[in-house]
């Protein structure tokens, strides 16, 4: 292959990589429940960031987006926290498999949705805000507490900018909502079976 | 005749038309009234949890604004005072986290069909305002979340090319924000459905959670339904390790309780609650677990000090490292230091994790310095089943610096200086400097062993002053320094019993 042809090919691949859409990275460790993933218990997310109430914000948004699809039954946050209190689990502590089994025995969900927020960043400028969120969401079996799927997702608010300032995401809440929608859509695309309609 | 007939026909036609109109009207009224009934679902709207303040923050101002927006959209709201009384009556201290049971109580106590919980995720009341709210609508009949929405608006989302009507304060965002927020809110919610979970457990107390074989496990459960005398009461049984244990009310009738002896085998056993209602419906759920521990912990002590003849010595700090031979979680630990009179001079302990290392600086628990001598250190741990293990070690605390005794003997043409250490701790090194009257260094001697005799080639003239600087350090790091202004004075005073000056502070200039 000639030098210039090779260089052109590399340049073309570089351009393609630039246009590539960042999608959540799903690691499938075990198959999701065969009976479907209708009932979901959203566990408090582990907060490894200094952003005030970052975990609580993402928790609320994630729960809302699952409900908003109209295809999942989501347990109220209060029910999960009540069992955490009874089992002496701190809200920022990831329950172990035995504890998940106990929570599963009480609520009988199909899946647990937990995870860790790795980065949450918001910096204001004159007319726009730089935002970034990185998190890992884990799906556990609702009976055994076994880790089934793990999803890594990282997004910047500027990635959604189209022309001028249009499309740009200027708040952590908006970015978390958009990322949650992307993840749920990806899960459904990857074979997650929601409630029968 | 024909005229009368046609008049009758017209009247009959008119009557039919009136009847038809009345029928249509009543049908319309019926449709509208049905629609009216359908939209007349009452909502218990709870105050806004404001996460921008703290995890339990409340935003009263925005609560009132959202309330007004809901009323503007024709929603029927339970009066705010009744909602507040409900929160107080049921001791609900955190907003936005209602449990299924609390949602069912709202139906019972407030008569609400729906519950609306809201959270302020982000809010900024500057000239670049930001508002993001999260709403969750739950149905009280089955305690399910039926609708949820998160809306957000930042000022730059609304700025235009010409800058006309750009938002500059929070109020400027309200109109587009609330229009978008409530756009998808259902006008009518189907009030059917079955609850996600029927086991309304309030509290579970399993004690102890870690125990030895044969010990009794006690399980106390408080059910929400027990407080409601009108509700049908289920028969409750606890299952553990294949055995069934019926729950019976305690003396106060507050808890249901049962107990059973733990088996001999080690392991973790799940406790399942099985509820059977009079209707025949039964449900079970895991309420907790207990673990049986058959192994005793074994703790060992490792002391970091100076070893001499098989004993550990220290002067300023002793590092104590406890180790479990078979690592396991412990419930508490304790350390004691016993002196030669068998009195505990240090007693310290804590629950939870065992410390990786402890440093003892030779102080008592009251803060005083312990006298030099032998001490016995005992470290005790208790595992989660309260099995105990101890380890003991002896140490010698020697905080005294070397005490060098100086003896000067004058000969005809020389001066002999004898140095000896009266403290048992071996010397690591020593040095002595002798200066003449004019500051001239007469002799510098150093060594690692005492006693020693130093010979000074100087005139034993009693009028001549010889200054001596003396430093000694033992193997534990204790150090002493002496500045003897006049060696001969020391000699004379030793003979005559007069006072002489020995300076113990460091005076040599570097």
pLDDT in tens, B46-88: 999 999 999 899 999 999 999 999 999 999 999 999 999 999 9
Residues in chain A whose beta carbon is closer than 8 A to a beta carbon of chain B? 39, 52-53, 56-57, 60-61, 63-65, 67-68, 73-79, 81-82, 86-87, 98, 101-102, 104-108, 124, 127-129, 165, 168, 170-174, 177
Cβ of A81 and B97 within 8 Å? yes
| Interchain contact B482–A (C-beta under 8 A) | no
- Residue B110 φ/ψ, nearest 5 degrees: -105, -10
| Interchain contact B249–A (C-beta under 8 A) | no
Residues with Cβ < 8 Å from A152, sequence gap 6 or more? A24, A25, A27, A134, A135, A136
Chain B hits for A124, CB-CB cut-off 8 Å, are 128
3-class DSSP state of B423: coil
Q: What is the per-residue pLDDT for B34? A: 43
Q: What is the per-residue pLDDT for A126? A: 77
pLDDT higher than 50, residue B215:
yes
- Residues of chain B with pLDDT > 90: what percent? 44
Taking the C-alpha atoms of residue A98 and residue B12, their distance in angstroms, rounded to an integer, is 82
pLDDT higher than 80, residue B132:
yes
Q: What is the per-residue pLDDT for A98? A: 87
pLDDT higher than 70, residue B337:
yes
| pLDDT tens by residue, B360-380 | 999 998 888 899 999 999 999
Average pLDDT, integer, range A105-111 = 90
Residue B145 C-alpha, separation from nearest chain A C-alpha, in angstroms: 7
Nearest to B197 among A74, A98, A107 (CB): A107
Cβ of B100 and A60 within 8 Å? no
Go through B408-447 and write b for each residue having 16 or more CB atoms within 10 A of its CB, e for each that does not. bebeeeebebebebebebbbeebebbbbeeeeeeebebee
pLDDT higher than 70, residue A11:
no
Within-domain flag for A181: yes
Q: What is the per-residue pLDDT for B278? A: 82
Residue numbers of the domain that contains A144: 3-16+23-189
Chain B hits for A52, CB-CB cut-off 8 Å, are 51-52
Q: What is the per-residue pLDDT for B19? A: 61
- Residues of chain A with pLDDT > 70: what percent? 86
Residue B346 C-alpha, separation from nearest chain A C-alpha, in angstroms: 33
Q: What is the per-residue pLDDT for A158? A: 85
Residue B356 C-alpha, separation from nearest chain A C-alpha, in angstroms: 23
**CB < 8 Å & 24+ apart, contacts of B404-407:** B404/B430, B404/B450, B404/B470, B404/B472, B404/B480, B404/B482, B406/B468, B406/B470, B406/B482, B406/B484, B406/B487, B406/B490, B407/B494
What's the pLDDT band for B450 if we cut at 50, 70, 90? Answer: confident
Bond from prior residue into B451 cis (ω within 30 degrees of 0): yes
Q: What is the per-residue pLDDT for B209? A: 87
Within-domain flag for A194: no
Within-domain flag for A180: yes
pLDDT higher than 90, residue B133:
yes
Within-domain flag for A197: no
Chain B hits for A128, CB-CB cut-off 8 Å, are 156
Average pLDDT, integer, range A120-147 = 91
* Closest chain B residue to the Cα of A39, Cα to Cα: B196
Q: What is the per-residue pLDDT for A161? A: 77
Chain B hits for A67, CB-CB cut-off 8 Å, are 136, 145-148
pLDDT higher than 70, residue A190:
yes
Cβ of A77 and B157 within 8 Å? no
Nearest to B152 among A60, A105, A171 (CB): A171
Nearest to B154 among A67, A107, A170 (CB): A170
Cβ of A174 and B132 within 8 Å? yes
Within-domain flag for A101: yes
Taking the C-alpha atoms of residue B240 and residue B260, their distance in angstroms, rounded to an integer, is 9
Q: What is the per-residue pLDDT for A62? A: 95
Nearest to A171 among B134, B154, B196 (CB): B154
Residue A92 C-alpha, separation from nearest chain B C-alpha, in angstroms: 13
What's the pLDDT band for B33 if we cut at 50, 70, 90? Answer: very low
Interface test with A, best of B91, B132, B184, B200 (most A CBs within 10 A): B132
pLDDT higher than 90, residue A194:
yes
Cβ of A108 and B100 within 8 Å? no
Residue B168 C-alpha, separation from nearest chain A C-alpha, in angstroms: 12
Taking the C-alpha atoms of residue A88 and residue B442, their distance in angstroms, rounded to an integer, is 76
Q: What is the per-residue pLDDT for B498? A: 41
State how far the alpha carbon of B181 is from the alpha carbons of A73, A130, A184, in Å: 21, 24, 21
In 3D, which of B118, B113, B131, B30 has the Cα closest to residue B75?
B113
Residue ranges of B 29-88 with Cβ closer than 8 A to chain A: 51-52, 54-55
| pLDDT tens by residue, B113-123 | 999 999 999 99
Average pLDDT, integer, range A116-132 = 88
Average pLDDT, integer, range A181-196 = 93
Within-domain flag for A196: no
What's the pLDDT band for A16 if we cut at 50, 70, 90? Answer: very low
Q: What is the per-residue pLDDT for B6? A: 52
Look at A60 and B504; give whichever has higher pLDDT. Answer: A60
Q: Which of A137-141, B169-173, B280-284 has the lowest mean pLDDT?
A: B280-284
Q: Which of A183-187, B20-24, B126-130 has the lowest mean pLDDT?
A: B20-24
Q: What is the per-residue pLDDT for B145? A: 93
Q: What is the per-residue pLDDT for B160? A: 72
* B473 contacts B427 by C-beta, under 8 angstroms: yes
Within-domain flag for A41: yes
Within-domain flag for A54: yes
Residue B202 C-alpha, separation from nearest chain A C-alpha, in angstroms: 8
Taking the C-alpha atoms of residue B187 and residue B39, their distance in angstroms, rounded to an integer, is 6
| pLDDT tens by residue, B228-262 | 566 667 788 999 888 899 999 888 888 899 999 98
Interface test with B, best of A145, A173, A181 (most B CBs within 10 A): A173
Taking the C-alpha atoms of residue A92 and residue A54, their distance in angstroms, rounded to an integer, is 12
Taking the C-alpha atoms of residue B348 and residue B363, their distance in angstroms, rounded to an integer, is 12
Q: What is the per-residue pLDDT for B433? A: 92
| Interchain contact B147–A (C-beta under 8 A) | yes
Look at B454 and A126; give whichever has higher pLDDT. Answer: B454
Q: What is the per-residue pLDDT for B495? A: 38
Task: State the number of CA atoms in the 13 A half-sphere of B258 facing the CB.
Answer: 16
Residue B379 C-alpha, separation from nearest chain A C-alpha, in angstroms: 29
State the helix-helix crossing angle for B100-110 and B80-89, rounded to 10 degrees.
130
Average pLDDT, chain B: 84
Here the ipTM equals 0.86
Task: CATH number of the domain at A160, please.
Answer: 3.40.50.10610
Chain A to chain B Cβ contacts (< 8 Å): 132
State the total domains in chain A: 1
Q: What is the per-residue pLDDT for B408? A: 85
In 3D, which of A107, A104, A64, A69 has the Cα closest to residue A195?
A69
In 3D, which of B92, B107, B108, B120 has the Cα closest to residue B43?
B107
Nearest to A171 among B96, B130, B199 (CB): B130
Average pLDDT, integer, range B487-492 = 67
Chain B hits for A170, CB-CB cut-off 8 Å, are 130, 154, 156-157
In 3D, which of B373, B303, B366, B364 has the Cα closest to residue B341?
B373
Chain A hits for B144, CB-CB cut-off 8 Å, are 73
């Amino acid at each position: 292959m000639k030098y210039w042809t090779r260089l052109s090919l590399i340049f073309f691949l570089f351009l393609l990589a630039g246009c590539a859409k960042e999608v959540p990275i799903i690691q499938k460790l075990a198959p999701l429940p065969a009976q479907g993933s209708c009932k979901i218990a959203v566990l408090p997310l582990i907060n490894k960031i200094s952003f005030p109430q970052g975990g609580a914000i993402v928790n609320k948004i994630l729960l809302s987006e699952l409900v908003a699809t109209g295809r999942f039954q989501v347990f109220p946050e209060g029910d999960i926290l009540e069992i955490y209190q009874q089992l002496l689990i701190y809200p920022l502590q990831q329950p172990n498999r035995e504890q998940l089994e106990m929570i599963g025995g009480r609520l009988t969900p199909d899946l647990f949705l937990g995870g860790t927020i790795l980065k949450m960043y918001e910096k204001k400028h004159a007319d726009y805000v730089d935002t970034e969120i990185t998190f890992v969401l884990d799906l556990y079996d609702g009976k055994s507490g076994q880790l089934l799927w793990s999803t890594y997702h990282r997004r910047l608010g500027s990635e959604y900018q189209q022309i001028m300032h249009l499309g740009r995401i200027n708040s952590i809440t908006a970015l978390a909502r958009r990322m949650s929608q992307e993840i749920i859509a990806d899960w459904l695309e990857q074979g997650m079976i929601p409630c029968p309609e | 005749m024909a005229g009368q007939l046609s008049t009758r026909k017209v009247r009959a036609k008119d009557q039919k038309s009136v009847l038809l109109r009345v029928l249509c009207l009543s049908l319309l009224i019926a449709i509208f009234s049905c629609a009216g009934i359908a939209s007349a679902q009452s909502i218990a709207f709870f105050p806004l949890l404001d996460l921008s303040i703290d995890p339990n923050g409340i935003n009263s101002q925005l609560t009132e604004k959202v309330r007004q927006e809901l009323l503007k959209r024709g929603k029927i709201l339970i009066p705010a005072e009744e909602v507040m009384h409900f929160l107080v009556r049921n001791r609900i201290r955190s907003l936005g986290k209602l449990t299924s049971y609390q949602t069912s109580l709202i139906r019972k106590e407030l008569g609400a069909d729906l519950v609306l919980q809201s959270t302020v995720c982000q809010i900024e009341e500057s000239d670049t305002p930001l508002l993001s709210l999260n709403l969750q609508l739950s149905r009280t009949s089955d305690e399910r979340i039926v609708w949820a929405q998160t809306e957000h608006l930042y000022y730059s989302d609304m700025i235009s090319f010409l800058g006309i009507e750009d938002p500059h304060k929070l109020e400027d965002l309200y109109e587009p924000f609330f229009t978008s927020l409530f756009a998808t809110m259902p006008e009518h919610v189907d009030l059917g459905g079955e609850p996600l979970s029927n086991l309304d457990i309030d509290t579970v107390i399993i004690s102890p959670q870690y125990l030895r074989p044969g010990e009794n496990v006690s399980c106390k459960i408080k059910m929400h339904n027990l407080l409601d005398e009108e509700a049908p009461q289920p028969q409750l049984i606890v299952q553990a390790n294949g055995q069934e244990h019926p729950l019976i009310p305690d003396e106060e009738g507050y808890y249901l309780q049962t107990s059973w002896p733990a088996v001999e085998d080690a392991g973790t056993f799940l406790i399942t609650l099985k509820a059977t209602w009079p209707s025949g419906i039964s449900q079970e759920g895991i309420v907790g677990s207990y673990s049986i521990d058959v192994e005793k912990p074994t703790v060992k002590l490792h002391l970091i000090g100076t070893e001499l003849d098989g004993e550990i010595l220290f002067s300023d700090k002793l590092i104590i490292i406890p180790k479990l031979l078979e690592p396991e979680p412990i419930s508490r630990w304790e350390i004691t230091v016993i002196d030669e009179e068998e009195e505990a001079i240090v007693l310290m302990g804590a629950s939870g994790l065992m410390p990786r290392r402890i440093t003892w600086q030779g102080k008592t628990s009251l803060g005083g310095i312990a006298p030099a001598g032998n001490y016995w250190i005992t470290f005790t741990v208790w595992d989660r089943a309260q099995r105990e293990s101890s380890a003991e070690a002896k140490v010698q605390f020697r905080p005294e610096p070397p005490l060098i005794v100086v003896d000067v003997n004058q000969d005809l043409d020389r001066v002999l200086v004898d140095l000896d250490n009266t403290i048992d701790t071996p010397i690591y090194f020593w040095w002595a400097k002798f200066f003449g009257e004019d500051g001239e260094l007469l002799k510098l001697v150093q060594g690692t062993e005492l006693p020693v005799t130093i010979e000074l080639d100087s005139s034993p003239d009693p009028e001549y002053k010889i200054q001596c600087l003396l430093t000694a350090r033992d193997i534990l790091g204790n150090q002493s320094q002496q500045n003897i202004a006049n060696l001969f004075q020391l000699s004379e005073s030793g003979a005559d019993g007069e006072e002489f000056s020995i300076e113990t502070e460091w005076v040599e200039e570097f």
